[in-house]
Structures are given as structure tokens and as C-alpha cells.
Amino acid sequence: MQAIQEVRGTAVPLLSDDVDTDRIIPARFLRCVTFDGLGAHVFEDDRQQDPQHPFNDSRFQQAKILIAGRNFGCGSSREHAPQALLRWGIRAVIAESFAEIFFGNCISLGMPPVRTNRSVLEKIHAAVHEDSKTEVTLDLNDMQIAFGTERFDAELNDSVRTALTTGAWDFLAQLIEAESQIRQTAESLPYLARFR
């Protein structure tokens, strides 16, 4: 799995709050056995109802960075939500805050979910509306968001940041390493030992 040091690209601004996973990928698209093809359906119902939706906007079609509001990704645990974003082309999400399961799912996919202040998000929003080709860079080593001449702090827990920048975000390999300790733990659990 590759180490992710930075994500650089144009941004798509979706500065609403409490955007839930049912909106990110409506439930009917979860009737699938692979994640293929989910990109085409990201925000499908919101986009149908609002022709001006940022994901419909031709100016933002190549965006790699999603700018979002408070409590982004709340609702269901469906990994299909960040998968749909990833397959649409998003490589990082910068939000005011994240719902926890969604946050964890992003990391599983190597898609950095970083937090920053509302005022910074509004500045990026304004910048990309003025010039949609504005390049935004998220640097995970010094935890900075840069666009134009501006630089701002980004927040991400250390453990997650380390996982992404060292390529250790593919957790399965790490988990498997501990097989003998896993079995030891199992043996120590009362309910696996008839409560003796």
C-alpha cells in the first residue's frame, strides 16, 4: 500500500452540514457485490434535485479534494459512501468535522479525512468559486492546507497521519502479524473458556 504524503488538485466545495451517507450514496446502490461503478452515483438524488449541485458543476469535475461542513458522513456505516467519492475522483476530504464511522472508512481506503476551521473552509470555497482551477495542496507531513499564497493548519490524529504517510493504512497486514497474541487473548476470555 502506498504512502500518502500529500494530495494536490482542484477542489469541489460542498459546504453543508450533516451531509449523511444516504445522500452520499442512496441505499438502492448498495445492492451490489463489488464497489465498481459507485462513482457514477455519488450524491445521485441530491444532484437530480439540484441541477446546481457542485458535483454537477462542470467546473469541478476533475476535483481531487472535497471541501465539506460539520458532521460530514453521518448516518450509516456503509463504506460504499467513501468508495463512491473515491471512485468519482476524490482523494482527500477536508471538513469542519466528521462522523466517526465514516472517518474510519476513509482511512481504510487511504483517503485522508482532515479537519480545519470553518473560516478556512469558507476561504477555500470562495477561492474555488472565483477560480475553479485553484490548486489546493494538503500536505500530511506538516499538516498544512495551501492554496494561492495562503497556508492554514489541518488537523488529523497522529496515529492516522502516521498510518497514511508510512503506507501502513492497509491495516490487515499489521493485524495478521499478531496471530499468536490474538489466539492468546481468545484463550483468556471467560466466555470462550466456559466462564471458568
DSSP-derived secondary structure letter, 39: G
Cell 450524491 sits on residue: 43
Cell 499489521 sits on residue: 174
Does 158 engage in binding with other proteins (CB under 8 A)? yes
3-state secondary structure of 115: strand
* Cα–Cα distance for residue pair 152/150, rounded to 1 Å: 7
Site string for other proteins, 39-58 (x = CB under 8 A): ------xx-xx---------
Cβ–Cβ under 8 Å, residues 126 and 150: no
Residue among 103 and 147 whose Cβ is closer to other proteins: 103
Does 23 engage in binding with other proteins (CB under 8 A)? yes
Site string for other proteins, 73-92 (x = CB under 8 A): -xxxxxxx------------
Helix axes 100-108, 158-166, angle to 10 degrees: 20
Contacting range for other proteins; rule: CB under 8 A; set: 55-63, 85-93, 127-135, 184-192: 184-192
Does 105 engage in binding with other proteins (CB under 8 A)? yes
CB of 108 to other proteins, least distance (A): 4
* Cα–Cα distance for residue pair 124/38, rounded to 1 Å: 27
Cβ–Cβ under 8 Å, residues 75 and 101: no
User: Which stretches of the chain bind other proteins, using CB under 8 A?
Assistant: 16-18, 20, 22-23, 26-28, 30-35, 45-46, 48-49, 70-71, 74-80, 97, 99-101, 104-105, 108-109, 157-159, 162-163, 168, 171-172, 174-176, 178-179, 181-182, 185-186, 188-192, 194-196
